[in-house]
Amino acid sequence: MGVVVASLWTLAGFAWNGALSAAPQQPVRYAPPAVEIDTGVDLDLAEVAVEVDWMVNDPRGWRVDLDQFTLRIVEPGIGGTTSMDSKGHIGMAYDAEDLALITEEAWTVLGPRFAAVGGTLQDQRTWIVLHELGHLLGHPHVDCPAAGQMAPVMRGANFELGDCTYNVWPHPMS
Ligand SMILES: [Zn+2]
Protein backbone atom coordinates (compact mmCIF):
# COMPACT_ATOMS: atom_id res chain seq x y z
CA MET A 1 0.00 0.00 0.00
CA GLY A 2 1.18 3.46 -0.75
CA VAL A 3 1.50 5.87 2.09
CA VAL A 4 -0.92 8.73 1.80
CA VAL A 5 1.11 11.43 3.44
CA ALA A 6 -1.54 13.99 4.22
CA SER A 7 -4.94 12.31 4.34
CA LEU A 8 -5.92 14.18 7.51
CA TRP A 9 -4.91 17.43 5.94
CA THR A 10 -7.03 16.62 2.90
CA LEU A 11 -10.04 15.80 5.08
CA ALA A 12 -9.54 19.03 6.97
CA GLY A 13 -9.43 20.89 3.70
CA PHE A 14 -12.66 19.22 2.62
CA ALA A 15 -14.44 20.24 5.81
CA TRP A 16 -13.02 23.74 5.74
CA ASN A 17 -13.84 24.51 2.14
CA GLY A 18 -16.87 22.32 1.66
CA ALA A 19 -15.55 21.15 -1.69
CA LEU A 20 -13.20 18.28 -2.42
CA SER A 21 -11.78 20.12 -5.39
CA ALA A 22 -10.46 22.76 -3.02
CA ALA A 23 -8.26 20.21 -1.24
CA PRO A 24 -4.70 20.28 -2.55
CA GLN A 25 -3.43 17.11 -4.19
CA GLN A 26 -0.88 15.35 -2.05
CA PRO A 27 1.61 13.01 -3.70
CA VAL A 28 1.53 9.33 -2.79
CA ARG A 29 4.92 7.78 -2.10
CA TYR A 30 5.51 4.26 -3.38
CA ALA A 31 8.45 2.25 -2.08
CA PRO A 32 10.90 1.38 -4.86
CA PRO A 33 12.52 -2.05 -5.26
CA ALA A 34 15.96 -2.66 -3.80
CA VAL A 35 18.46 -1.78 -6.53
CA GLU A 36 21.67 -3.75 -6.99
CA ILE A 37 24.58 -3.38 -9.41
CA ASP A 38 26.12 -6.75 -10.28
CA THR A 39 29.82 -7.48 -10.37
CA GLY A 40 31.45 -6.16 -13.52
CA VAL A 41 28.82 -3.53 -14.22
CA ASP A 42 30.19 0.01 -14.28
CA LEU A 43 27.18 2.02 -13.10
CA ASP A 44 26.66 4.24 -10.08
CA LEU A 45 24.23 2.57 -7.69
CA ALA A 46 22.94 5.84 -6.26
CA GLU A 47 22.24 7.29 -9.72
CA VAL A 48 20.38 4.17 -10.87
CA ALA A 49 18.39 4.04 -7.63
CA VAL A 50 17.31 7.67 -8.01
CA GLU A 51 16.05 7.01 -11.52
CA VAL A 52 14.24 3.82 -10.52
CA ASP A 53 12.60 5.70 -7.66
CA TRP A 54 11.44 8.33 -10.13
CA MET A 55 9.87 5.66 -12.38
CA VAL A 56 8.15 3.95 -9.46
CA ASN A 57 6.75 7.22 -8.13
CA ASP A 58 5.66 8.71 -11.43
CA PRO A 59 1.83 8.77 -11.59
CA ARG A 60 2.11 6.82 -14.85
CA GLY A 61 3.83 3.93 -13.01
CA TRP A 62 2.32 0.88 -11.30
CA ARG A 63 1.04 2.93 -8.35
CA VAL A 64 1.92 0.25 -5.80
CA ASP A 65 4.78 -0.39 -3.41
CA LEU A 66 7.51 -2.49 -5.00
CA ASP A 67 9.94 -2.89 -2.12
CA GLN A 68 9.31 -6.64 -1.94
CA PHE A 69 11.32 -6.89 -5.17
CA THR A 70 14.97 -6.56 -6.13
CA LEU A 71 16.09 -4.94 -9.38
CA ARG A 72 19.62 -5.93 -10.40
CA ILE A 73 21.64 -4.50 -13.27
CA VAL A 74 23.74 -7.28 -14.82
CA GLU A 75 26.06 -7.87 -17.73
CA PRO A 76 24.29 -9.35 -20.78
CA GLY A 77 24.35 -13.13 -20.56
CA ILE A 78 23.73 -13.28 -16.83
CA GLY A 79 20.55 -15.03 -15.72
CA GLY A 80 19.19 -15.65 -19.19
CA THR A 81 19.60 -12.10 -20.44
CA THR A 82 21.14 -11.48 -23.84
CA SER A 83 22.74 -8.67 -25.76
CA MET A 84 20.42 -6.30 -27.56
CA ASP A 85 21.35 -7.32 -31.09
CA SER A 86 20.47 -10.97 -30.50
CA LYS A 87 16.71 -10.33 -30.40
CA GLY A 88 16.62 -11.63 -26.88
CA HIS A 89 15.97 -10.47 -23.38
CA ILE A 90 17.34 -7.18 -22.12
CA GLY A 91 15.41 -7.92 -18.95
CA MET A 92 14.20 -11.01 -17.12
CA ALA A 93 11.84 -11.56 -14.20
CA TYR A 94 12.19 -14.37 -11.67
CA ASP A 95 8.95 -14.64 -9.73
CA ALA A 96 10.20 -17.15 -7.18
CA GLU A 97 13.06 -14.86 -6.20
CA ASP A 98 11.13 -11.58 -6.53
CA LEU A 99 14.03 -10.57 -8.75
CA ALA A 100 14.17 -8.57 -11.97
CA LEU A 101 17.35 -8.48 -14.05
CA ILE A 102 18.08 -5.64 -16.46
CA THR A 103 21.18 -5.62 -18.64
CA GLU A 104 23.74 -2.86 -18.34
CA GLU A 105 23.37 -2.42 -22.09
CA ALA A 106 19.64 -1.76 -21.76
CA TRP A 107 20.47 0.97 -19.28
CA THR A 108 23.25 2.64 -21.28
CA VAL A 109 22.67 2.06 -25.02
CA LEU A 110 19.54 2.98 -26.97
CA GLY A 111 18.73 -0.13 -28.99
CA PRO A 112 17.99 0.19 -32.69
CA ARG A 113 14.54 -1.39 -32.37
CA PHE A 114 13.50 0.95 -29.61
CA ALA A 115 14.85 3.93 -31.52
CA ALA A 116 12.93 2.80 -34.61
CA VAL A 117 9.58 3.25 -32.83
CA GLY A 118 10.46 6.68 -31.49
CA GLY A 119 11.94 5.74 -28.14
CA THR A 120 14.67 7.45 -26.14
CA LEU A 121 17.16 5.84 -23.78
CA GLN A 122 15.06 7.16 -20.90
CA ASP A 123 12.01 5.46 -22.40
CA GLN A 124 13.92 2.24 -22.87
CA ARG A 125 15.01 2.24 -19.21
CA THR A 126 11.49 3.03 -18.04
CA TRP A 127 9.87 0.38 -20.22
CA ILE A 128 12.19 -2.47 -19.34
CA VAL A 129 12.16 -1.71 -15.59
CA LEU A 130 8.39 -1.32 -15.32
CA HIS A 131 7.78 -4.25 -17.68
CA GLU A 132 9.87 -6.67 -15.63
CA LEU A 133 8.45 -5.36 -12.35
CA GLY A 134 5.04 -5.88 -13.95
CA HIS A 135 5.84 -9.56 -14.39
CA LEU A 136 6.80 -9.77 -10.70
CA LEU A 137 3.42 -8.20 -9.90
CA GLY A 138 1.81 -11.06 -11.84
CA HIS A 139 1.05 -9.35 -15.14
CA PRO A 140 1.42 -11.52 -18.27
CA HIS A 141 2.13 -10.28 -21.77
CA VAL A 142 -0.81 -8.65 -23.56
CA ASP A 143 -1.40 -7.61 -27.14
CA CYS A 144 -2.53 -4.23 -28.39
CA PRO A 145 -6.19 -4.07 -27.26
CA ALA A 146 -7.45 -1.87 -30.11
CA ALA A 147 -6.07 0.24 -32.91
CA GLY A 148 -5.12 3.72 -31.79
CA GLN A 149 -4.85 2.91 -28.10
CA MET A 150 -1.59 3.30 -26.24
CA ALA A 151 0.58 0.21 -26.38
CA PRO A 152 0.42 -1.70 -23.08
CA VAL A 153 3.61 -1.76 -21.02
CA MET A 154 3.21 -5.56 -20.89
CA ARG A 155 3.50 -6.00 -24.66
CA GLY A 156 5.80 -8.84 -25.52
CA ALA A 157 8.60 -6.74 -26.94
CA ASN A 158 9.37 -3.06 -26.96
CA PHE A 159 9.08 -2.78 -30.74
CA GLU A 160 5.84 -4.76 -31.15
CA LEU A 161 3.36 -1.90 -30.99
CA GLY A 162 0.82 -3.58 -33.28
CA ASP A 163 -1.77 -0.96 -34.16
CA CYS A 164 -1.21 0.78 -30.84
CA THR A 165 0.57 4.06 -30.31
CA TYR A 166 3.88 4.42 -28.55
CA ASN A 167 3.93 4.20 -24.75
CA VAL A 168 6.26 2.90 -22.05
CA TRP A 169 4.11 3.33 -18.91
CA PRO A 170 1.60 1.10 -17.07
CA HIS A 171 -0.83 4.02 -16.65
CA PRO A 172 -0.13 6.50 -19.45
CA MET A 173 -1.97 9.80 -19.24
CA SER A 174 -4.40 10.06 -22.12
ZN1 LIG B 1 7.92 -9.72 -20.63
- Position 114 scores a pLDDT of 83
- Over residues 70-120, the pLDDT tens digits come to 999 999 999 999 998 777 789 999 999 999 999 999 999 998 878 888 899
Question: What's the CA gap between 54 and 73, in Å, rounded?
Answer: 17
CA–centroid distance, 7 to ligand 1, in Å, is: 36
Per-residue pLDDT of the chain (174 residues; tens, 9 = 90+): 454 444 444 444 444 444 455 556 677 899 999 999 999 999 999 999 999 999 999 999 999 999 999 999 999 999 999 998 777 789 999 999 999 999 999 999 998 878 888 899 999 999 999 999 999 999 999 999 999 999 999 998 777 888 999 999 999 985
CA–centroid distance, 171 to ligand 1, in Å, is: 17
How many domains, the chain?
2
- Position 9 scores a pLDDT of 41
Percent of the chain residues past pLDDT 90, beyond the cut? 70
Q: Assign 97 to helix, strand or coil.
A: helix
CA–centroid distance, 133 to ligand 1, in Å, is: 9
CA–centroid distance, 131 to ligand 1, in Å, is: 6
Of residues 156, 151, 143, the one with CA closest to residue 168:
151
Question: What's the CA gap between 78 and 127, in Å, rounded?
Answer: 20
CA–centroid distance, 87 to ligand 1, in Å, is: 13
Task: Decide if 112 is inside a domain.
Answer: yes
Q: Do 12 and 39 share a domain, yes or no?
A: no
* Domain range enclosing 17: 1-29
Q: Do 59 and 95 share a domain, yes or no?
A: yes
Point out which residues pair with 35 in neighbouring strands: 71
Q: Do 73 and 18 share a domain, yes or no?
A: no
Task: Decide if 159 is inside a domain.
Answer: no
Question: What's the CA gap between 56 and 64, in Å, rounded?
Answer: 8
Task: Decide if 166 is inside a domain.
Answer: no
CATH of residue 131: 3.30.2010
Q: Assign 3 to helix, strand or coil.
A: strand
Q: Do 6 and 60 share a domain, yes or no?
A: no
Task: Decide if 163 is inside a domain.
Answer: no
Question: How do 70-74 and 34-37 pair as beta strands?
Answer: parallel
Distances (CA, A) of 163 to 27, 155, 160: 34, 12, 9
| 122: number of Cβ within 10 Å | 13
Q: Do 10 and 66 share a domain, yes or no?
A: no
Task: Decide if 85 is inside a domain.
Answer: yes
Q: Do 24 and 90 share a domain, yes or no?
A: no
